Amino acid sequence: MLCTASLFSQTKKDTLFQAEKDTLAVSKIDSLQVAKDTINTAFFSDKDLQTIDSLLVLEKFNSSLIDTLEYVLNDIDIVGKTNTTLTTALLKSRLADLNEKTPFNLAYNPSLENVINSYLLHRKRYYPALMAKAKYYFPMFEQYLDAYDIPLEMKYLAIVESALRPKAKSGVGATGLWQFMYATGKQFGLKVSSYVDERQDPVKATVAACKYLSQLFTIFGDWDLALAAYNSGPGNVRKAIKRSGGYKNYWNIRPFLPRETASYVPAFYATMYIFEYANAHNLYTEVPAYFHFETDTIQIKRTVSFDQISEKIDVDAEVVKTLNPSYKLEIIPFVKDRNYAVRLPTNKIVTFLDQETAIYALADEDAAKREKPLPKYFEMDKRIRYKVKSGDYLGKIAQKFGVRIRDLKQWNRLKNNQLKIGQRLSIYPKKI
């Protein structure tokens, strides 16, 4: 952390760092303490420092490398926080109302109150953009949650997991909106290749998440425990139940869960509360670039890049990239029996069909321009191994096989024209 004005009192310094810690859901407290200790010279004003902090939070919140748990606040990060944005009585009333509408056990708890207040105090500016993303993803989530008989409120889990960023990756490799590890994703049918990561496909990953959540509910018979198991695995939840003495209410087993899981379900509850009572806290969504119903897919018939599609149908390549996050290299491969498709704004689907031949022709043209392997290096079936005899020299051998001396030297990495009797040469002859 950079230095600030010496005019800061110690109280202001402590308040600044507590706010920064809450905002970023800091797990690396030691490094922050070091940063705090360095604030001792007069380089920046209060306003400058606030700007720096704001940019830092913005980067952490929007970074494609953000760890899943950075959205989640651990208890240690909010202990001692006294600032509130709503009274305890009002929160209890609203949580009771929400609890009537959902199969989750949405009961008041001081830890939950701290999380809600911290989110509203330090993350409020980021919710309008997050709500705009929700306008795009939530209708699609709800469609599949309903099909699998999962509470529609489970859509908020994707916010806790990834902040609705389909390319989000955690430090341990969990990927996508629903943060599937490679093995778990594969178990639920999500394929990963050099071109495609289906964990980043919003629709396919949502279906996989529904299957997994349904399986977890079958095991525990409780949606709160299913949430905890989604984060830490069913084994850890079973252990917590046993260590608690057999309790099966989330709050009763919470002390026996891994630390990140203990904070995970409250983060889900807090997110649900904030979205359900957004207007009451003067939170209003930004206008989304697209709604999901304003897009559609069309199957491709040849390997094609985002740029080639963009060029022929007059749509920004960034739009194609945003709508197709599962393609890792911005290329849609054509693979037999895989049926890969491109998602486009609905008003561009007809244009794509009209320009389909031209798009594939452009792809062929670009492919033809790429440097190709030279046949003389790759026609291995024509290569011969020649043994140098007495009286041989490069010119004689080159003439015999219809090749050039410089080619002979290049094929065999010869630095000069000298040969040894019995030496073996690789030759790609034009005549034998």
Residues annotated as catalytic (active site), given as ranges: 161
With beta carbons less than 8 A apart as the criterion, state whether 205 and 191 touch: no
In 123-268, beta strands by DSSP E:
none
Q: Left if phi > 0, otherwise alpha if psi is -120 to 50, otherwise beta: which for 224?
A: alpha
Interatomic CA distance for residues 232 and 261, integer angstroms: 6
DSSP E strands, 238-308: 295-299, 304-305
- Residues 265 and 371: their CA atoms lie apart, in Å, by 54
Rounded to whole angstroms, how far apart are CA atoms 159 and 177? 8
Q: Is 422 helix (H, G, I), strand (E, B) or coil?
A: coil
Transcribe 73-89 into DSSP letters. PPGGGTTT----SS-HH
Q: Which residues pair with 331 in a beta bridge?
A: 305
CB under 8 Å to 302, separation ≥6 — which residues?
A: 334, 360, 363, 364
For the chain, the straight-line distance linking the first and the last C-alpha, in angstroms and rounded, comes to 74
C-alpha distances in Å from residue 321, one per residue of 38, 365, 428: 42, 22, 45
